[in-house]
Amino acid sequence: MKVGLLTGGGDCPGLNAVIRAVVRRVSDAGGTCVGVLEGWRGLIRGTFRPLDPREVEPLIGRGGTLLGSSRTNPYKNPDADVPRVRQNLLEAGIDALVVVGGDDTLGVAARLVNDFQMPIVGVPKTIDNDLMLADFSFGFDTAVNVVVEAVERLRTTAESHRRVIVVETMGRNTGWLACFAGMAVGADYVLVPEVPIDVPHLVAALKRVRGSAKNHAIVVVAEGARYLDADPPVLDAEAFGHPRTGGIGALIADVIDRQLRVETRTVVLGHLQRGGAPTAHDRVLATRMGLAAAELVLRRRFGTVLTLRGSQIADVPLDSAALATRSLDLAFYQDAAAFFY
Ligand code: F6P
């Protein structure tokens, strides 16, 4: 059996661990693997690379994806690109395709399964942790830890200058990343898209911080945080049409600076949250996901996508319903808010 692997959408630490696990399990079963380069773009262009078990063996702790990734949507130009995808898969002699991605990349896979019964198995991936498929997506734990490490550094300079520092995190239009990282660092306030910005509440909380023994404050803001009935600031749009949000952190910092009359600074962590080596948690989860995906392929259980409930990996039909995104569970936010002054 010749198995193709494709990584699409925003990259994250753990992708190479998935690749390593799939290649090892398929190879042990006597099959071979080939990598599709740069997400769906590689199947449109017909660009591949061999995947050798010995080559990928050391990659468990390496961030990013050996195959490259992109936000390419063949259904944006369906008459030309969808036939190319099918033809290139055929000409490459690929019997099964493991697609690792978020709702956009897997959404393309679901359409190809629905339209042409393509032999695909999906693996959920996102640092945003916003997929209904998985209680936790690999990449998320690593991104949370990147924020934690950054905030621990920012705290010492905030203390030295008696300042408020606003830290803008990724997360697209959910607050999972901001909320978990905010709780982990003991942030004095956390803003998430799921809870409209309440400036008086924020300012009052920070005034109480200032009135306490603490001489500084850390505010963690998700890039998608917004005012009631308003959209977050947008930088531009990307291939799947999602607006790339960003800039809310600076707006919040300005409000705090003016209303609290305290020196306030903003740090946008951006793609730091997507980079570097995966944590042990994500290496283990990604490895287990890769092995499970290979099993589905070897048993020819195509048109499926992996799920994670607790520590249990299972699978469901790969269709649009399975790929629903989910907002932050506000129970987590309430726990973080227990520490807002
Ligand atoms: O979906 C992952 C993510 O990192 C989001 O959190 C972020 O808004 C977006 O991707 C950034 O996209 P790009 O890497 O294309 O700038």
pLDDT score recorded for residue 230: 79
Are residues 257 and 288 both part of a single domain? no
320 part of a folded domain: no
How many whole angstroms from 185 Cα to the centroid of ligand 1? 23
Question: Domain of 157: which CATH number?
Answer: 3.40.50.460
Nearest Cα to Cα of residue 285 among 120, 132, 100 = 100
Are residues 207 and 235 both part of a single domain? yes
Does 235 have pLDDT greater than 80? no
Are residues 231 and 183 both part of a single domain? yes
Are residues 187 and 333 both part of a single domain? yes
**Number of residues that make up the chain:** 341
323 part of a folded domain: no
> Which structural domain range is residue 233 located in?
143-272+329-337
Residues with CB under 6 A from ligand 1: 10, 71, 102, 126-128, 170-172, 223, 238, 244, 274
The minimum-distance atom of ligand 1 relative to the CA of 246 is: 8
* CA-closest residue to ligand 1 atom 2: 10
Q: State the average pLDDT over residues 163-168.
A: 98
* CA-closest residue to ligand 1 atom 14: 10
pLDDT score recorded for residue 257: 96
Are residues 207 and 333 both part of a single domain? yes
Return the amino acid letter for 171.
Answer: G
pLDDT score recorded for residue 60: 98
321 part of a folded domain: no
Longest alpha-carbon distance in the chain = 69
Does 274 have pLDDT greater than 80? yes
Active site residues: 128
* pTM score: 0.96
Are residues 198 and 333 both part of a single domain? yes
As for how many domains the chain has, the answer is 2
pLDDT score recorded for residue 232: 79
The residues facing 234 across adjacent strands are 245
Does 236 have pLDDT greater than 80? no
How many whole angstroms from 174 Cα to the centroid of ligand 1? 12
Are residues 196 and 245 both part of a single domain? yes
**49: burial class by Cβ within 10 Å (0-12, 13-18, 19+)?**
middle
pLDDT score recorded for residue 231: 82
Q: State the average pLDDT over residues 108-127.
A: 98
Are residues 264 and 284 both part of a single domain? no
Are residues 70 and 198 both part of a single domain? no
Question: Domain of 14: which CATH number?
Answer: 3.40.50.450
Q: State the average pLDDT over residues 232-251.
A: 81
More reliable by pLDDT, 237 or 149: 149
